[in-house]
Amino acid sequence: MPQPPAPRRTLGRPPRFSRAEVVAAARRIVDAEGVDRLTMRRLATEIGSTPMALYHHVRNKDQLLVLLLDDYAARTLRRPELPDEPRERVVVAAAAIHEALADCPWIVEVLTADDLMSASALWFVEQIVDGLVAGGLPPERAVHGYRAIWYYTAGEIMIRATATRRRTGDDKPTYRDQVFAALDPDELPRLSQVAQRWAPLTAEDTYLDGLRALVDGLLAAR
């Protein structure tokens, strides 16, 4: 016996779509056409509505991107086997977050949204804080340590992402190249020494090295 469409218990005009549907539609657009095509108008047509209707489900486009990131994290973050040794546990957990984020370059615009507070990322945060505590830090310092790791990780992703984006744009010499070409070896000997190697050197992916150094430093007894 088909129930009558469950009696509405909420006042007001019933919504034609939910926030979840908005996020799902946004995901379809991003996956199929790239993040540049994700505009509020495009999203509205995808959902069969008008741009301003979306604003009753998300506060603004930034929040939409945060939700998209949450959605992405929930779908792709898998909990890896973590080593027992505290230092290595921290490194592996942070690297897992980094890898997931680096795979999805459009997040950059969202990444400054304070902490990475997707519920599905919390487990990794827990592992990092716990690893730091197991390594000998008091809880407060462990939180600070996690923050430092997060600053480093987010900074790396943001800077690297915009760098590659610019590089694909045009191949003209960048501002950086000009500056490096005009170095005065007497005043800046070290930079002159590495000037020619600067571009390839900074293009290398050394996230893990830096992360290890940071975690080592955090866990070193002082």
Partner DNA sequence: GCGAGTTTCTATACATGTAAGAAAAGTAAC
Partner DNA sequence: GTTACTTTTCTTACATGTATAGAAACTCGC
Q: Tell me which of DNA, a copy of itself, none is bound by residue 79, counting a contact when its beta carbon lies within the kind-specific cut-off of 5 to 8 angstroms.
A: none
Q: Which of 33, 62, 103, 177 is the binder for DNA (CB under 7 A)?
A: 62
Q: Tell me which of DNA, a copy of itself, none is bound by residue 50, counting a contact when its beta carbon lies within the kind-specific cut-off of 5 to 8 angstroms.
A: DNA
**Residue 171 CB, nearest approach to DNA (Å):** 17
Enumerate residues 93-112 that contact a copy of itself by CB under 8 A. Answer: 108, 112
Estimate the crossing angle of helix 86-102 against helix 139-169, to 10 degrees: 30
Distance CA 81, CA 18 (A): 36
Q: How far is CA 133 from CA 18, 52, 191, in A?
A: 41, 47, 39
Number of residues in contact with a copy of itself, rule: CB under 8 A? Answer: 64
Q: Which of 2, 4, 7, 169 is the binder for DNA (CB under 7 A)?
A: 7
Tokens of 17: 């779509």
Tokens of 180: 């490096």
Q: Does 51 bind DNA (CB under 7 A)?
A: yes
Q: Does 49 bind DNA (CB under 7 A)?
A: yes
Q: Tell me which of a copy of itself, DNA, none is bound by residue 42, counting a contact when its beta carbon lies within the kind-specific cut-off of 5 to 8 angstroms.
A: DNA
Q: Does 53 bind DNA (CB under 7 A)?
A: yes
Quote the strand ranges of the chain, DSSP E: none
Considering only CA atoms, which of 153, 137, 129 is closest in space to residue 214?
153
Distance CA 57, CA 17 (A): 9
Q: Does 158 bind DNA (CB under 7 A)?
A: no
Distance CA 193, CA 57 (A): 55
Tokens of 70: 């949450």
Q: Does 82 bind a copy of itself (CB under 8 A)?
A: no
Considering only CA atoms, which of 27, 16, 112 is closest in space to residue 67?
27
**Residue 166 CB, nearest approach to DNA (Å):** 13
Q: By CB under 7 A, name the binding residues for DNA.
A: 7-17, 37-42, 49-53, 55-57, 60-62
